[in-house]
């Protein structure tokens, strides 16, 4: 069996590994460290929780032990998709490089630029950064990447999901062509494969497990939930979640609960607190200081339940997580593997439960297709909860309902017995005109009611004037301008005169 002492690592690095309590490397470590020490490019593909971080930190420390960094020109670069993963990589460097004089800088969002600039100005051997903050420093003229000797891209598939691939390509173009590249990912999407073909030179490919597979130490189960009403779905899912936690009892020492949306993370955390559970949320909209405190509390055991978005699904190394609950089925099947990979790490056993509603059936089918196996179903732990029918019966009911609705819409009224026979010749039907309503009689003017003689005199005058008014109107119509009238253009008159003269 291979041991760390067989991998030609720096003796000071071996001492730090021994003090950390490790003796035997994992398969990805045993496969990636030797070619990395030889200066080759490495493409590592392994499921989450297999120790990929040590696969590049240990050879980097060994190779960087010789030499010295210059101001604003780091010697190595590690790119991570999230702040938490970058901070975790920095902790690994502190653990394994404590007997080696190496300097490092952590460039992540949520931290003052001034403090990071001071570290870069002194010169760092290892620069650990998220793509966005790294480019911010570069565009401000505070950082040069022309001295990079070793470049690492960690969790490349997560970079793809978060839209960092254009930034990764730009950062690659800013580094020397002679650099050594270590590329690690849990899956190999076509876009990831294109980047590796472009920027890696004859890499040593280490694939220790089938892509996107879950650890065998994780016991998986699914709860099929049939909501009583659409507007009650979220509330009933939270009841199922509480029942699952209670059913596990003391076996659930701590757990990570995953939601698809940040707003749901806050709602679930607030609901669990209301029912007396020790729970805290973590997602991308929280301040970095609050996220750090929450993670530290979860690692220390002061926080039992961590409600998270997928920002916490990739790369976080919290070895003693006993359970994972998927409150929502992830929309990307690969995220399911990364979520449940937070438990069952380093050979430990773990459990993963997923709550599935009818609207999740498509995503859940994609998860099972990726895993190439059916996840066991368990009964809804909530008593008196409506049970979901089998899928074929539900589909049949939907088709029958749709057919019933279509028949109802297409049904025509039966003709009356005394109605005349309809003609086969199409007849234009005139739209019905609105019925004329009688105009209300105007209210009688006060003077007519009070002075009948004056009213009779005015009516007599009106009858006498009517014939004269009609004659005036006819005269005005007869004298009206017709056609061009008096405005006959001069050229038309001239043409008539010439023809008459001829």
Q: What does the pLDDT profile of the chain (502 residues) look like in tens digits?
A: 688 989 999 999 999 999 988 889 988 999 999 999 999 999 998 876 678 889 999 999 999 988 787 888 999 999 998 888 898 899 999 999 999 989 999 999 878 898 899 989 988 999 999 999 999 999 999 899 999 999 999 988 888 877 888 999 999 999 999 999 999 987 788 888 899 999 999 999 998 865 556 777 889 999 999 999 989 999 999 999 999 999 999 999 999 999 999 899 999 999 999 999 999 999 878 887 888 889 889 988 899 999 998 765 565 667 789 999 999 999 888 888 888 888 887 667 899 999 999 999 999 999 999 888 899 999 999 876 666 654 444 444 444 444 544 444 444 444 444 444 444 444 444 455 555 544 554 444 444 444 555 556 666 666 666 666 666 666 655 555 455 555 556 666 555 444 444 4
Provide the pLDDT for residue 448.
Answer: 47
Provide the pLDDT for residue 460.
Answer: 65
Maximum Cα–Cα distance across the chain: 131
Bridge partners, 206 (sequence order): 44
Pick the CATH number of 218-393 from 3.20.20.110, 3.40.50.300, 1.10.3720.10, 3.20.20.140: 3.40.50.300
Token pair belonging to 438: 């009688």
CA pair distance 343, 323, nearest whole angstrom: 6
**Which H or E run includes 198?**
helix 190-199
CA pair distance 340, 312, nearest whole angstrom: 11
Token pair belonging to 288: 């970095």
CA pair distance 335, 162, nearest whole angstrom: 12
Q: What is the pTM of this model?
A: 0.63
134 Cβ contact list (under 8 Å, min separation 6): 77, 79, 107, 127, 143, 171
DSSP code, position 115? H
CA pair distance 123, 185, nearest whole angstrom: 29
Burial class (CB in 10 A: 0-12, 13-18, 19+), 142: middle
C-alpha gyration radius of the chain: 40
CATH 3.40.50.300 residue window(s) in the chain: 4-207, 218-393
DSSP string of 9-31, one letter each residue: --HHHHHHHHHHT--S--HHHHH
- List the one residue out of 363, 360, 334, 348 whose CA is nearest residue 214: 334
125 Cβ contact list (under 8 Å, min separation 6): 64, 67, 69, 74, 75, 76, 102, 103, 104
431 Cβ contact list (under 8 Å, min separation 6): none
Provide the pLDDT for residue 497.
Answer: 47
- List the one residue out of 125, 100, 101, 105 whose CA is nearest residue 17: 100
Helices (H), 278-390: 288-300, 333-340, 361-371
- List the one residue out of 316, 281, 337, 289 whose CA is nearest residue 86: 316
**Which H or E run includes 447?**
helix 446-450
CATH numeric code, 4-207: 3.40.50.300
The SS3 assignment for 256 reads: strand
> How crowded is residue 352: how many other Cβ atoms within 10 Å of its Cβ?
26
Provide the pLDDT for residue 408.
Answer: 46
Pairing verdict, β 104-107 and 126-129: parallel
CA pair distance 59, 73, nearest whole angstrom: 20
CA pair distance 235, 241, nearest whole angstrom: 10
CA pair distance 329, 358, nearest whole angstrom: 11
């Amino acid at each position: 069996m291979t041991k760390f002492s067989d991998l030609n690592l720096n003796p000071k690095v071996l001492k730090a590994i021994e003090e950390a309590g490790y003796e035997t490397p994992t398969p990805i470590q045993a496969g990636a460290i030797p070619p990395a020490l030889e200066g080759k490019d490495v493409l590592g593909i392994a499921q989450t929780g297999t120790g990929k971080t040590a696969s590049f930190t240990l050879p980097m420390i060994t190779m960087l032990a010789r030499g010295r960094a210059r101001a604003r020109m780091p010697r190595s670069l590690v790119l991570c998709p999230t702040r938490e993963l970058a901070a975790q990589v920095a902790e690994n460097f502190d653990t394994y490089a404590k007997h080696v004089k190496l300097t490092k800088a952590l460039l992540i969002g949520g931290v003052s630029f001034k403090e990071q600039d001071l570290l870069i100005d002194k010169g760092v051997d290892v620069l650990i950064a998220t793509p966005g903050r790294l480019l911010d420093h570069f565009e401000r003229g505070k950082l040069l990447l022309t001295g990079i000797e070793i470049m690492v891209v960690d969790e490349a598939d997560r970079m793809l999901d978060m839209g960092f691939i254009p930034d990764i390509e730009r950062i690659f173009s800013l580094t020397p062509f002679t650099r050594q590249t270590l590329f690690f990912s849990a899956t190999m999407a076509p876009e990831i494969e294109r980047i590796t073909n472009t920027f890696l030179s004859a890499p040593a490919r280490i694939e220790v497990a089938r892509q996107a597979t879950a650890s065998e130490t994780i016991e998986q189960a699914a709860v099929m939930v049939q909501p009583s009403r659409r507007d009650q779905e979220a509330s009933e899912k939270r009841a199922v979640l509480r029942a699952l936690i209670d059913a596990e009892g003391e076996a659930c020492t701590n757990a990570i609960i995953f939601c698809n949306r940040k707003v749901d993370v806050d709602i679930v955390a607030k609901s669990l607190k209301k029912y007396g559970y020790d729970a805290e949320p973590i997602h991308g909209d929280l301040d970095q200081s609050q996220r750090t405190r929450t993670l530290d509390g979860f690692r220390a055991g002061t926080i039992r339940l961590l409600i998270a978005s997928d920002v916490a699904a990739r790369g976080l190394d919290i070895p003693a997580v006993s359970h994972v609950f998927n409150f929502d089925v992830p929309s990307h099947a690969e995220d399911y593997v990364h979520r449940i990979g937070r438990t069952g790490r380093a050979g430990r056993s773990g459990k993963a439960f997923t709550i599935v509603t009818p609207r999740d059936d498509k995503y859940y089918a994609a998860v099972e297709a990726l895993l190439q196996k059916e996840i066991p179903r368990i009964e809804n732990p909530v008593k008196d909860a409506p049970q979901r029918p089998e899928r074929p019966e539900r589909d049949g009911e939907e088709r029958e309902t749709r057919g019933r609705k279509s028949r109802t819409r297409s049904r025509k009224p039966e003709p009356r017995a005394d109605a005349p026979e309809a003609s086969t010749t199409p007849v234009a039907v005139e739209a019905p005109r609105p019925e004329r309503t009688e105009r209300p009689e105007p209210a009688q003017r006060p003077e007519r009611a009070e002075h009948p003689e004056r009213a009779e005199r005015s009516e007599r005058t009106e009858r006498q004037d009517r014939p004269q008014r009609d004659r005036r109107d006819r005269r005005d119509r007869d004298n009206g301008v017709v056609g061009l009238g008096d405005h006959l253009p001069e050229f038309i008159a001239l043409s008539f005169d010439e023809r008459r003269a001829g």
